Chain A
């Protein structure tokens, strides 16, 4: 590889292309070429910047929460402030980080490439969805800076509609706008996957990452509008005291919860399904095997999307709903675990007798496997009505969802960022540091959140800033806060070395992992329109046996040199 030619400083993020070849990063320069781009890859990077920003904001609130909980007394902030801290942490992390994260960054970047298309079906709508996200984000920032919200991210009525005097309407509007962004992304993906697959790319040859994003998009499309209209009702109720959710006027607060959770439960599947898609790609590549049970994994994604809409009231078991309905929802909640379990079994079976390589993406995938399983199983605890009564609104719930959201979704996101970083940036990240960071994240995560299972089971309530009536909980809280610090370090490291790699990293080959998938048949980074010629697909997905075989020239295997071991040094 030739040495990178030193380039004069440009107004763009400093990216020195290793060769003079034109790619999507250097095709055009100037701020407006980014802000008015319709290239799905550039939009993916715009999203990357924005969601990283909000990840820091949400993380900052988490830091303050953990600092407060170091001591039993409420001595860092006042109670009202603490309410705002956990609310803003939740709202920012859910709506402005987790929900967009993988679909908007990795999905936007990869979906067209994986199916052999030049772009998404509606590139301008793609750009619009980023702008909507940014507008929603700015509104949320403004809301936070001028007082914030204190209802919890779930903004239950009638507290949110009648009693709190924090900025519910503004926050709701911000979420409404960001939700519209989410809907448009889902719309784009569904139409793209249906209409823009390259010749020969049948449904059964699609990477499972695509199936996962398709299922995610269905949820985004059908669930988000319901929470959007709920926000409208909350705003109307606040403004006019309509009584829709006010018991004094004949309204039912539980109706709010039904409408809210009808979206917000499927929303958690929006957050985890793409991550499952990423993990599938990584496990296949770093075991050098086809995914075991392709159809099962594909259909389980759809099943999760559909079943996910059937279980929402398990968030309301102790709220006053009908016990008979609770029984139904409890049963359905057990059912929804099945497709997720199917995936875990298939991943495990894929690993079996595979040629395992422990590069950083794979370390994140392993982390995902263990932590998602724990998170998912604890979900079953919560679905049992009897246990639910005991652990609702305790740290058990907090630990459960953080295991899935952070141990699952964020690990998958980081694994995916590492896996596709060479393709996105044209550079290799430093593998040693990446493995170290993965280990730090894993250790930090468990140290943060495993004590919370114990705390919750022993009765520590969530959303309390003061636990001085239970000072025996302090030791576990201290462990948790220590873990959060370690976790923070683990998250900072990739930011540092990814940025470092953009300037100083080794230039990446087209396919550093010798991975299957159309995206790896393009240069790193790819040209603006992805493929010089429309690909024609004649091979099955995950054709690792062909890729690692001695026969060059077999369909799908046109690697310039055969290599069995992924090279990323």
Chain B
């Protein structure tokens, strides 16, 4: 309950239950929420951007070692995960459209599908991480990357230190991405609950729209991570 009583404040409110008191009208509230999410996504671009910068520097310095390390992660799984996320982006736009057109069932189904696809993504990621763990490619005390050939140079072995840098960036970048996925799942669970309760109408479904924006952004980050991490130098 907002503090304080109101001194003589009278605005034409639409008396929409979701309209907050400090906004003049629902349009202003919706536009503010949307702009707020877009601005937040801009900050996320810079957050991941720092990691992309580190990646760029070391790929420039250690291309052969990065290529060797990249070759050791499973590109098929990576591509599959890319497809999974693209499908989840589809279910997200379907959810938004369903909310806009008062299709409650489709909205709920789309939200559930989105979450299932997100969980599938995380599951596949878990499989990949486990693979790396078993192969001792997780940076730290038990890291080892001996006698791995540099692609295209059968007489050259990759420098394990430089490969460890690749894997460090791999785990930090995909880990941060996965963390954002998990947060996204939390957001969509909340959307699902609200949708189930029938809170969304064609007049007001702002959380679905801005939750969708967040999800698409996480998808876009992965769209770049896939080629950069998995496909550095794959030709035989």
Contact = CB atoms under 8 A, between A and B. Distances in A.
Q: Do chains A and B touch in the complex (CB under 8 A)?
A: yes
A257 to B, nearest CB: 12
Contacts of A224: 43
Contacts of B4: 22, 24, 27-28, 39, 527-529
A186 to B, nearest CB: 8
A225 B44 contact: yes
B22 interface: yes
B235 to A, nearest CB: 25
Given A232-B172, A532-B9, A534-B24, A240 B54 contact: no
B50 to A, nearest CB: 4
B32 interface: yes
Given A24-B4, A221-B42, A528-B3, A228 B47 contact: yes
B159 interface: yes
A196 B54 contact: no
Interface in A516-532: 527-529, 532
Contacts of B42: 221-222
Interface stretch (A159-167, A243-251, A328-336, A401-409): A243-251
Contacts of B32: 121-122, 191-192, 195-196
A338 interface: no
Given A118-B22, A196-B28, A223 B5 contact: no
Contacts of A128: none
B15 to A, nearest CB: 17
Nearest to A217: B39
A226 B49 contact: yes
A426 B101 CA distance: 51
A229 B49 CA distance: 9
Chain A interface size, under 10 / 10 to 19 / 20 to 34 / 35 or more: 35 or more
B207 to A, nearest CB: 14
A45 interface: no
Contact of A222 (B11, B31, B46, B51): B46
Nearest to B38: A191
Nearest to A28: B3
Given A226-B50, A259-B50, A195 B172 contact: no
Contacts of B39: 187, 190-191, 221
Given A28-B4, A242-B139, A243-B164, A534 B11 contact: yes
Contact of B164 (A38, A196, A232, A242): A242
A283 to B, nearest CB: 31
Interface in B150-192: 159, 161-162, 164-165, 168-169, 172, 176
A225 B32 CA distance: 22
B47 A229 contact: yes
Interface in A230-245: 230, 232-233, 236, 240-244
A117 interface: yes
A497 B36 CA distance: 40
Given A22-B5, A27-B3, A121-B36, A242 B46 contact: no
B57 interface: yes
A147 B224 CA distance: 41
A325 to B, nearest CB: 13
B51 A229 contact: yes
B134 interface: no
Contact of B35 (A37, A191, A252, A534): A191
A549 interface: no
Interface in A254-285: 255, 258-259, 262
A251 B165 contact: yes
A112 to B, nearest CB: 8
Interface string A522-555: 0000011100111000000000000000000000
A528 B21 CA distance: 12
A359 interface: no
Interface of B: 2-9, 11, 21-24, 28, 31-32, 35-36, 39-40, 42-44, 46-51, 53-54, 57-58, 61-62, 139-141, 159, 161-162, 164-165, 168-169, 172, 176
Q: Lowest 8 CB-CB distances: which A-B pairs, in order?
A: A27-B4, A225-B47, A528-B4, A229-B50, A242-B168, A119-B22, A225-B46, A240-B140
Interface of A: 22, 24, 27-28, 33, 36-39, 42, 117-123, 183, 187, 190-192, 194-196, 221-226, 228-230, 232-233, 236, 240-244, 248-252, 255, 258-259, 262, 527-529, 532-534
